[in-house]
Structure formats: C-alpha cells, structure tokens
Amino acid sequence: MTSHLKYDQKNVREYHYFLLLSLIQKHKRITRTQLAGITKISNTTVGKIVKELIEDGLVIEGDQKGNIGRKATFLEINPTGAHIIGVEVDISSVQIALVSLNGTVINKRQFQFDVKGKEKPKIVLDKVASEILKLLEEVGKEFAKKVIAIGISMAGLISWPNGKALMVPQFQWNDVHIKEYLESKLDYIVYVDNHVRSILLAESLFGVIKSYKDVVCVHVGSGLGGAVMINGEISRGTCNTLGEIGHITMEPNGQLCDCGRLGCLQTFISSSELEKYAHAPIEDIFSAYERGEEWSRMLIDRAKKYLGIAISNVICMYNPEVVLLAGPMVEDYPILVEDIEQITSEQMWSPLKHTFKLVRSTIGKDSGVIGASALVLNQFLRKSINES
C-alpha cells in the first residue's frame, strides 16, 4: 500500500535543515544545545544537520566564553555562504546589486529609464536581464555560482507569488508578467513583490525591527504605501494589497491621483503629488519650507497632518507594536517626520496612544536592493514553513 504522508524521511530532514537555518539567522548567535531545546529535536540530529549546514557553507561556528570560563561553540549565518541578486525598479532608474546573506551590498550597477517616455515593459525587463548578467560577469564565477535567486522590488500592485505587475500607475504598466519573463531569460528563480513589503522584510531580517513581530510599515516616496507584518509573517490579503493605504479616499472631491481617482491619501503626502500641486521639484519645495515661505509651509504642514492621520489609522486597524517609517521622503527630508509623534498623538484614539513605538528605517540608501534580496532570503529561510 502506497503511503500518502507528505513527509518521508528525506522531507523531514529537509524541513529540519531549513528550520535550523532560519533559527540561526533569527538568533544571530546560538549553540547546538539551544537549537535542540527550542525545536525539541534530539542533540544527535541537530548535530548532524548543523554539520551539513557548515559543509554547505551556510553556517559558521566560533568560540564564546561561558559563564565559568569554558568555551561554548556558537553558530551564525555565513554571510558569504550564498548571495542574492536584488533589483529595485524605481520611477526613473533601476538598481541591481549582489547582496550577501547579512544584507551587505557587495557590488551594484544601475541604469536610467524614462517613465514619461513610456518605455515598453519588455524593453526595461530586457535591460534588467542584461545588466544582471553583466553584474555576474563583473563579480566572477566564485560569487556568481553562489547566487540562490533574484529578488525584484517595485512600486505598484504586484500579485504574489506569481510576480505579475497588475498595475503600476507611475510606469503605466498593466498585467506585466515580470517573474515569468525574467525566468525565461535568466537561469534563476525570480521573486517579485511590492517595495514596501520588501523593505519591511529587510528591516525585520537586518534592521531596526528584528525583535518585533507585529509591525506596520508606512513608506513615503513618489507614492504612499503600506505593509503589515503579523506574528512575524507578511500579511497579504486576497490580492496582495493588505495595508495598501495610499489609495484610501480622504477627500472625494480632492486632487486627481495617478490612479485616476480623486482625493487619495497619497495626493496629500507623496513627492510626485506635491510636485504636481506646487509645479516645482520636491527639493525646491523643502528648501522654500526651510526658508519659511508660506506656500511651502502650508503644503508641507498639510502633508505632516495627513501622515499623522495615516499612522493613527493604521494603529487602529492593525494594533502593531511598531510603526516603521521608510522611503525617500523620510530619508532625504527628515523634517517631514521630525515632529510626527506629536502630530500622530493629536489624531490618535486615546486607548492606543501608548501601545506602539514609532521608528525610522535604518537600512539607508540601498534599502531597495536590500529589500529585494530580503524577499529571496525570507523565502529561503522559510522553506520549512512553506512546505509544511
């Protein structure tokens, strides 16, 4: 009689392999004994699997002085044991990077493309594939053979896990099969997701929210996006838009959004919408604000108010431990969020005022490509969960 059990001995071993790998990544430094205690797997089995992880180059070990002077061997992820190609597709350029397992950018390339010129998606994706191959050639075979997959991070409505750009208003892309197309061009698995979810994953793996499980990310850039993590897992909803706050209607008769509707939340906050309203580049708007010019003061103070409303609303909806503020507007123009806690508090439902922390992204200018690599690493580390 044929068994229909999902896990035979090989599958159970593979499950444990990725489970231990994910725990080592999560704890950063951990002993074999601690792994056995957490997983309830026998010390012997843990030892055998750890030996495989070390032989595969994914884990390294070292000595750490114990409380009574003895040396305890600890385990940690080998940052050079494998690599990821991270790709950020932005409103006017594409960044491509080779990223280590600890989120370090090893090498990168970039190219410009003209969104306003309405370049066809195929032209852009062909260029992405070409530049990835050039990057792999640059870094050499030793690095290239350790690449486990490619991650793509971009704005817009992206289906998961099939990596299709359903709608990217900034690029005027609709129903573009990004994953399928790039996998046909490159000999790697490709993961594609919205950039806000990518950055949230990156901060949870490498950054400021490593120790938190319930987090909302509010991303302010050329658009306004949101992403939600509950109990350490990204929450996606039916069509991968859970937490997408930018197109909440705030003023039914308001300014025209690039989605074609009126008065979306992002029309009050995002850089592209502020530029349209002021007929000036975003850097000029903030320069005028710092000079105290009234028109700019009115515009930026309104943006701050609506950002505070957005944060207070997501706290009511998701009750997170942390709200993570990220994106180019936060990084390049910190004055936008310098008093955001007070503004948020003024809008906040009082029972929730002291239930969360407000933090800023720490990954910095390479957050797009590091976020894209985090998509891959997250899937790789969660193989034990995904196949259970």
Residue ranges of domains in the chain, CATH in brackets? 9-77 (1.10.10.10), 83-199+367-386 (3.30.420.40), 209-360 (3.30.420.40)
Residues with Cβ within 8 Å of residue 79, at least 6 apart in sequence: 100, 101, 102, 104
Give yes or no for a contact between 227 and 155, defined as CB atoms under 8 angstroms apart.
no
Q: Which amino acid is at 6?
A: K
SS3 string, 238-306, reads CCCCCCCCCCCECCCCCCECCCCCECEHHHHCCHHHHHHHHCCCHHHHHHHHHCCCHHHHHHHHHHHHH
Tokens 């071993």 locate to 13
Q: Among candidates 301, 359, 285, 295, which has minimal Cα distance to 325?
A: 359
The one-digit pLDDT tens for each residue of the chain (388 residues) are 333 333 344 556 677 888 888 888 877 888 998 889 988 898 899 899 999 889 888 889 876 654 555 566 889 888 888 899 999 998 888 999 999 888 889 999 999 887 665 678 999 999 999 999 999 999 888 778 889 899 999 988 999 999 999 988 778 889 999 999 999 999 899 999 999 999 999 999 888 898 899 999 999 998 899 999 999 889 998 888 898 899 999 999 989 988 889 999 999 999 989 999 999 999 999 999 999 999 999 999 999 999 999 999 999 999 999 999 999 999 999 999 989 999 999 988 999 988 999 999 988 788 889 999 999 988 887 764 444 4
Using CA atoms, how far residue 204 sits from 60, 183, 245, in Å, is 22, 27, 20
**3-class SS at 110?**
strand
Rounded to whole angstroms, the Cα distance separating 74 from 78 reads 12
pLDDT score, position 92: 81
The backbone region for 103, taken as left when phi is positive above 0, alpha when psi lies in -120 to 50, beta otherwise, is left
pLDDT score, position 3: 32
pLDDT score, position 9: 47
pLDDT score, position 115: 64
DSSP assignments along 120-173, one per residue? -HHHHHHHHHHHHHHHHHHH-HHHHTTEEEEEEEESSEE-TTT-EEEEETTTTE
Q: How far is CA 172 from the centre of its chain?
A: 23
Q: Which amino acid is at 114?
A: D
Residues with Cβ within 8 Å of residue 187, at least 6 apart in sequence: none
Rounded to whole angstroms, the Cα distance separating 35 from 13 reads 15
pLDDT score, position 64: 60
Q: Which residues of 203-218 are buried (b: 16+ CB within 10 A; e: fewer)?
A: bbbbbbbeebebbbbb
**Other beta carbons less than 10 A from residue 45's beta carbon:** 15
pLDDT score, position 387: 45
Q: What are phi and psi of 67, to 5 degrees?
A: -65, -30
**3-class SS at 181?**
helix
| Stated pTM of the model | 0.84
